């Protein structure tokens, strides 16, 4: 037997999934247009080379505008100083060749970064030196101790140094990836809150409407049964991909407008005095924040939640279509690590 509680939960979950998809597309467009991933990668390189104290020099609204306009100097490498190892490594042809002229890549393989690092040191201090000698020339005690600790008691040559840099790079970038995900979730919440206010996506008011309108709830349940989660966006590489993400966000916003949301809000109907208005605004704010928090959980979370609710409701997953094709051999490819 279908439960009204489950139907309302399915309708809310479908709405939250639609909002999360819109917010994700918007976040990806922002990240692509402002080259956020490349900026975070640069912060990670400063961290792993023990030059993180220079991070404040690269921050600010003006550098963000320069990156948005795709102008040179948007990353501010010149602000790091002539002796900065980070600036010199990031200007190495092995790295600059992975991005458009005047830009920086959003991702650098550890092998490429390690080779660029060692090549930078040998160009600075000469070839044929031991790893210890090269590191001592840098004058960065923290970096020297870190890489020597990773090298251990093994060979003291540039090959061992390059391998140590690869290990250290992978370790730091794993941590930087976690920072970026947390930062992205905060951005997702702020974007969700903006859409919730502008489009009046009030979770409390919406749940009440779904409870009172069985026809509307049934429509959302049918949409949820047919819902498919789009493929996650690829890592944007240029401004064109940012525009594509913006267009995707616009299309999803148009789909979202078909849901029972928007202005004028029934919550403020007939409210004239200050006291009732403040009360209505407070509940609306709670509903908007709830929507923003739901969006920050991501579309895959709500997609899985819809599947679980539909199974609990008794609908179950749709059976796969039977085919008469002959069985094929499945070849498993090795995973590709970014």
List, as one string, the DSSP characters of 292-308: HHHHHT-HHHHHHHHHH
pLDDT at 176 over 70: yes
Contacts of 54 (CB under 8 A, 6+ apart): 46, 79, 80, 81, 84, 86
The pLDDT of residue 329: 38
Tell me the average pLDDT across 31-52: 90
Is omega for the bond preceding 264 within 30 degrees of 0, making it cis?
Answer: yes
Query: What was the pLDDT predicted at 257?
Result: 63
Judged on CB neighbours under 10 Å (0-12, 13-18, 19+), 31 is buried
Confidence of residue 272 (pLDDT cuts 50, 70, 90): confident
CA 40 to chain CA centroid, nearest Å: 11
Side-chain-facing half-sphere of 278: CA atoms under 13 Å: 3
pLDDT in tens, 308-331: 988 887 755 444 444 444 444 333
Does the pLDDT of residue 1 top 50, yes or no?
no
Instruction: Indicate the range of 36-40, 129-133, 200-204, 225-229 predicted with least confidence.
Output: 225-229
pLDDT of residue 217: 86
79 or 169, which is more confident: 169
The ranges assigned to domains in the chain are: 37-205+261-318
Tell me the CB-side half-sphere exposure of residue 25, using CA atoms within 13 A: 19
Looking at per-residue confidence, does 273 or 206 come out higher?
A: 206
pLDDT reported for residue 213 = 85
Q: What is the mean pLDDT of residues 61-75?
A: 81
pTM of the model: 0.73
Local structure of 214: helix, strand or coil: helix
Task: Average the pLDDT over 191-199 and give the result.
Answer: 93
Which comes out higher in pLDDT, residue 4 or 260?
Answer: 4
Residue 85: closest CA among 112, 111, 55, 121: 121
């Amino acid at each position: 037997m279908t439960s009204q509680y489950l139907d309302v939960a399915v309708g809310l979950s479908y709405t939250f999934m639609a909002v999360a998809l819109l917010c994700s597309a918007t976040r990806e467009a922002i990240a692509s247009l402002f080259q956020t991933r490349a900026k975070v990668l640069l912060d990670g390189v400063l961290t792993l080379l023990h030059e993180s104290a220079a991070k404040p020099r690269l921050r600010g609204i003006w550098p963000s505008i320069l990156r948005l306009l795709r102008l040179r100097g948007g990353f501010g490498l010149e602000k790091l100083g002539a002796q900065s190892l980070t600036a010199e490594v990031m200007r190495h042809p092995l790295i600059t060749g992975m991005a458009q002229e005047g830009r920086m890549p959003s991702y650098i393989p550890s092998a490429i970064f390690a080779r660029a690092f060692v090549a930078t040191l040998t160009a600075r201090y000469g070839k044929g030196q031991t790893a210890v000698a090269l590191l001592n020339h840098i004058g960065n005690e923290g970096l020297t101790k870190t890489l020597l600790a990773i090298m251990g008691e093994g060979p003291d040559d540039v090959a061992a140094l390059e391998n140590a840099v690869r290990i250290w790079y992978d370790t730091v970038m794993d941590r930087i990836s976690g920072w970026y995900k947390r930062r992205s979730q905060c951005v997702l919440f702020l974007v969700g809150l903006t859409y919730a206010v502008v489009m009046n996506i009030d979770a409390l008011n919406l749940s009440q409407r779904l409870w009172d309108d069985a026809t509307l709830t049934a429509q959302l349940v049918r949409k949820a049964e047919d819902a498919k989660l789009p493929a996650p966006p690829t890592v944007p590489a240029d401004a064109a991909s940012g525009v594509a993400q913006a267009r995707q966000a616009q299309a999803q916003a148009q789909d979202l407008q078909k849901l029972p949301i928007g202005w004028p809000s029934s919550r403020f109907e007939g409210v004239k005095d200050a006291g009732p208005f403040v009360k209505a605004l407070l509940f609306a704010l709670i509903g908007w924040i709830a929507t923003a928090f739901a969006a920050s959980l991501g579309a895959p979370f709500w997609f899985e939640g819809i599947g679980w609710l539909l199974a609990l409701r008794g609908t179950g997953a749709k059976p796969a279509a039977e085919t008469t094709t002959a069985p094929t051999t499945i070849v498993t490819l090795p995973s590709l690590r970014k």
